[in-house]
């Protein structure tokens, strides 16, 4: 009886811990979606791309924010992750999300399809940033906003960079000056850089860029 009582208390404590962890994760995701909504000026009816969407959690949350007439393009290059996104979309009953199999050098997004695009912890994995940035630019509508959420290599000291990335990264991460230079060369205009609320010990940043409405630089207000 004593052992059973101990086991029940242990099971109850474990369940409570798991539920608390899921609750905190949900709060963290909600906070990040709120911030994305502000930075990218998301509203019902806009078209958004989540490039390198992982398992699709953020894509689904954003799809709910831009519903009913908005669209989210969720891209990934790994077949298993693409399957997870499709399963999650079906389970959530989302009807305004398009799953796209991307490539290392191409988002494979339709031309001129997006009002906003974001890459969360993805840019430092790009093995062909020049072509990928060009693809992002072509997918963006004039005046659209691009958010790069990532971290400096100094936040992961001693960690080697992902395989195949350019040697100028200086470690595992995305140096802000290099991100700015690469995206500027692709045609984007820097707007602002802010800290970003991602859980864990590694400090993240968000770099906001825009695609000009015309060859002359257009004005976009910085994120709040």
Within a domain: residue 23? Answer: no
For 171, residues 6+ apart whose C-beta sits below 8 A from its C-beta are 153, 154, 156, 157, 158, 159, 160, 161
pLDDT digits (tens, 9 = 90+) for 140-177: 999 999 999 999 999 999 999 999 999 999 999 999 99
> Phi, psi at residue 115, to the nearest 5°?
-85, -20
Q: How confident is the model at residue 198 (pLDDT cuts 50, 70, 90)?
A: confident
Average pLDDT, the chain: 87
Within a domain: residue 139? Answer: yes
Report which listed range, 1-10, 32-41, 198-207, is most confident. Answer: 32-41
Nearest to 174 by CA among 157, 155, 152: 152
* pLDDT score of 200: 79
* pLDDT score of 76: 98
* Token reading at 48: 């958004």
Within a domain: residue 215? Answer: no
| Per-residue pLDDT at 199 exceeds 80 | no
Domain that holds residue 186: 43-210
Within a domain: residue 85? Answer: yes
CATH number of the domain that 156 lies in?
3.40.50.150
Within a domain: residue 35? Answer: no
Within a domain: residue 222? Answer: no
Domain tally for the chain? 1
Q: How confident is the model at residue 2 (pLDDT cuts 50, 70, 90)?
A: low
């Amino acid at each position: 009886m004593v052992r059973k009582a101990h086991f029940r208390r242990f099971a109850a404590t474990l369940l409570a811990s798991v539920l608390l962890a899921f609750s905190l994760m949900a709060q963290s995701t909600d906070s990040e979606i709120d911030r994305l909504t502000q930075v990218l000026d998301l509203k019902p009816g806009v078209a958004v791309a989540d490039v390198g969407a992982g398992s699709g959690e953020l894509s689904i949350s954003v799809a709910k924010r831009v519903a009913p007439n908005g669209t989210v393009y969720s891209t990934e290059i790994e077949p298993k992750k693409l399957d997870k996104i499709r399963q999650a979309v079906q389970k959530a009953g989302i009807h305004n999300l398009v799953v796209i199999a991307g490539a290392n050098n191409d988002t494979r997004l339709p031309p001129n399809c997006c009002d906003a695009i974001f890459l969360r912890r993805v840019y430092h994995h790009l093995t062909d940033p020049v072509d990928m940035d060009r693809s992002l630019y072509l997918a963006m509508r004039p005046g659209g906003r691009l958010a790069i959420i990532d971290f400096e290599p100094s936040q992961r000291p001693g960690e080697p960079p992902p395989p195949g990335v350019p040697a100028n990264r200086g470690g595992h991460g995305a140096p802000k000056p290099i991100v700015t230079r690469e995206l500027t060369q692709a045609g984007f205009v820097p707007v602002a850089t802010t800290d970003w609320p991602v859980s864990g010990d590694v400090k993240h940043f968000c770099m906001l860029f825009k695609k000009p409405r015309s060859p002359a630089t257009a004005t976009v207000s910085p994120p709040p």
